[in-house]
Amino acid sequence: MHWSTDIWVWIAVFFTLSVYTFLWKDNPLYKFAESVTVGIGMGFGVVQWWNLSVVDRFWVPLTTRGTIGLVLIIPAIMGLMMVTRIVPRFAWMSRYALAFSIGAGSGFMLPRAIQASILQQLYATMLPINISWTGLMVNLFIVVGTLAGLIYFFFSKEHKGVFGGIANIGIWFLMVGFGATFGYTVMARLSLLIGRVLFILRDFLGMHLF
């Protein structure tokens, strides 16, 4: 075993272990780590916001792109109006910027969502059901499962009788689907823990066991 001499590694290990103490119970160490991450994260956000957004995406184009750049004053004014949200008396001014962003965002999304969420999904689900392994064990299941799922999410009719039966099949498909997602994610989550443990063993304690 060979302790690290790098103070920063010690700091990272201290915070790592502080967070793990939460598994036992809430304590001042965890609260300290929580407040540090909130503060450091906010400071990081401010600095990156200034350099990557304000300077790179606003100030530089404004001052170097001539007339086209100067037009950016208009959204800048709208952005400043957005900030008035904080002050209740002037909060109504922020609606202009919000209206612009959210209105445009909604209009932008409308046809694209029809293409991606509706038409493409329908195309991918219109599968041939012929007498073969693929036709019966794959395509048929997918078509029936999708239909049953859609019926489950149908809110205009109560889940009774035949309709209720199909909706029940739908929820079964949903549950199996969720179970698959759950199992799939377990391995990924375990690898995160392995990553932290390896950091402590290798970088901090200098133990190269694996």
Partner 1 sequence: MFWKKKVPLLIVFIMGFVMAVQYFVPSDFSKKFYDTYIDWAIVIGIFGGVLGFFSFFRVHIHKVSKQAPNWQFSLISILCALLMIIAALLGGRGSGSLFMKLFLYTSAAINATVFSLLAFYISSAAYRAFRARSTQALALLLAAVIMMLGRVPIGDSISFWTAWGWPSINEISQWILNVPNLAAKRAIILGVGLGSLLMSLKIILGIERTYLGSE
Partner 2 sequence: MKRLTFVFLLLLIGIIIPIGADESNPPKPQTPQLMDIPGDGGTNVLLQWRHFETVPGIRYDILRSEDGVKFEVISPLQTKTITYEAQNQPENDVSELGYYILLQPQEGDLPKAKVIKGTDANRDSLIAAGAKKILRVELGVPPLSELTKIPNKFALGEFYRVIPDEKIAKRPEPITVSKKLFDRIGIKTPSLGNVTIELTPKEKELEFVHKGKRILAAGEDDMPLILKYGKQIVSFVTEDARYTVKYESMQFLDRKSKNRDMKSGKHYVYKIRLYQKDIPISKIYMDSDTVGITPQDEPPVVPDKITAFYNRKNGSAVIHIKNTSSLASFYDNKSYTIFKTTPDDTSCSKGTQIYKIGASAKAVILDNVDSTDVFYILVEDEGGQQNKTGLINLTPADLKDVPLPQNMRVLDYENDRGQKIALRWDPPTLAVGYAVEDVAKKMMQEKVDSKNIYYIPTESGDSLFVAKDSAEIPQGARKVLELSYTVPGGKKVLKISYQMWANSDDKALYGEFKLDGKVKIDKDNTGELQFQNISAGEYTLVGHIIKNNGGKLKNPEANVEMKVDATRIHIVPIDVPPYVYYIYRGTDPKDPSTFVYVGAAGADSREYIDQFNDTKTAENTYYYIVQAVGPNGAVTQSDPLGPVAAKSNWFDTSKVVIFLSTLIFIIVAFFFIYHAKRGRKFYIRPIAGIVHIDEALGRATEMGKPIIYITGLGFIDDIATLSSITILGRVARKAAEYQCKIFVPCYDPLVMIVSQETVRNAFMDAGRPDLYNEENIYYIAAQQFAYAAAVAGLMIREKSAANFFMGRFYAESLILAETGASTGAIQVAGTDDMTQLPFFITSCDYTLIGEELYAASAYLSTDPMQRGSLKAQDFLKAIEMILLVVGSLAATAGMWWFTNAFRALGGD
- Name 16's Cβ contacts closer than 8 Å, sequence gap at least 6: 196, 199, 200
Decide whether 76 or 114 has the Cβ nearer to partner 2.
114
Q: Per-residue contact track with partner 2, 79 to 118, x per CB under 8 A?
A: ------xx----x------x--xx--xx---xx--xx--x
Site for partner 2 in 16-35 (CB under 8 A): 19, 22, 25-26, 30-31, 33-34
Site for partner 1 in 38-97 (CB under 8 A): 38-47, 49, 51, 53-54, 57-58, 61, 71-72, 74-76, 78-80, 82-83, 85-86, 91-92, 94-97
Tokens of 193: 């823990």
Site for partner 1 in 108-147 (CB under 8 A): 108-114, 116-118, 121-122, 124-125, 137-138, 141-146
Where do we find the tokens 């001539």? 66
Q: Which of 136, 133, 153 is nearest to 144 (CA)?
A: 136
Q: What is the 3-state secondary structure (H, E, C) of 39-68?
A: HHHHHHHHHHHHHHHHHHHHHHHHHHCHHH
Q: Per-residue contact track with partner 1, 141 to 180, x per CB under 8 A?
A: xxxxxx-xxx-xx----------------xxxxxxxxxxx
116-120, Cβ contacts within 8 angstroms, sequence gap of 24 or more: none
CA distance 116 to 113: 5
Q: Are 129 and 139 in contact (CB under 8 A)?
A: yes
Decide whether 104 or 207 has the Cβ nearer to partner 1.
104
Site for partner 2 in 121-180 (CB under 8 A): 122-123, 125-130, 139, 143, 146-147, 150-151, 153-159, 174-175, 177-179
Cβ neighbour number for residue 71 with a 10 Å cutoff: 13
Applying CB under 8 A, the site for partner 1 has a residue count of 114
Q: Are 59 and 52 in contact (CB under 8 A)?
A: no
Amino acid letter, 99? A
Q: Which of 52, 92, 97, 53 is nearest to 75 (CA)?
A: 97
Residues making contact with partner 2 (CB under 8 A): 19, 22, 25-26, 30-31, 33-34, 37-38, 41-42, 45, 85-86, 91, 98, 101-102, 105-106, 110-111, 114-115, 118-120, 122-123, 125-130, 139, 143, 146-147, 150-151, 153-159, 174-175, 177-179, 181-182, 185, 189
